[in-house]
Amino acid sequence: MSNQARKKLFNLAQLYQAHEVQDTWNAAKGESVIEHPDKGLISPNQYRQMGSRLGKRCPYCGQKMTYGDSYKASSREEAIKKGFEYINKQGQKTINKAQSIFFDRKYLTLDHKLTKARCPERMFDFDNLQFVCWECNQEKGSNNAFDVQYIFDYLDSLATEALNRYKPL
């Protein structure tokens, strides 16, 4: 890790520009910066690999998350052939892409419960990270209220279903 990246890790609360926050996260993906309660210091990449071995389901959509090279593609055409293209909540055809790699919509990602854009000092806190599929992580974006809205929508749908099944007397 460069000295500049090391300095940013020690001054996370001083990051104000989105590119600085993202650069800091990217620079530390292979560095031991997360204090895991059982494993000690691990990198974000190691933590993601641990999640993949657990066969995790996304906490939002409930789908089993994917991980590994077979869920990646190096071109748009290959991604379409592998079935990575889907219709997002806005009704647009989407393929998840990071740099020049395309990913399955259920690819396992690390999500920041309190977003790194708004709370950069919590960027590497173990308690602030969770495994989420790429599609749900994209939907959540930088919305710190996403969990509350998700729970509200879920409870609202339960109430609607109950009212539809059991008509008031």
Q: Whole-model pTM?
A: 0.76
Q: What is the pLDDT along the chain (169 residues), one digit of tens a residue?
A: 555 555 555 566 565 677 788 888 888 889 999 999 999 999 999 999 998 888 889 998 899 999 999 999 999 999 999 999 999 888 999 999 988 999 999 999 999 998 888 888 899 999 999 999 999 998 887 776 777 777 777 788 888 888 888 877 7
Contact 128, 115 (CB under 8 A): no
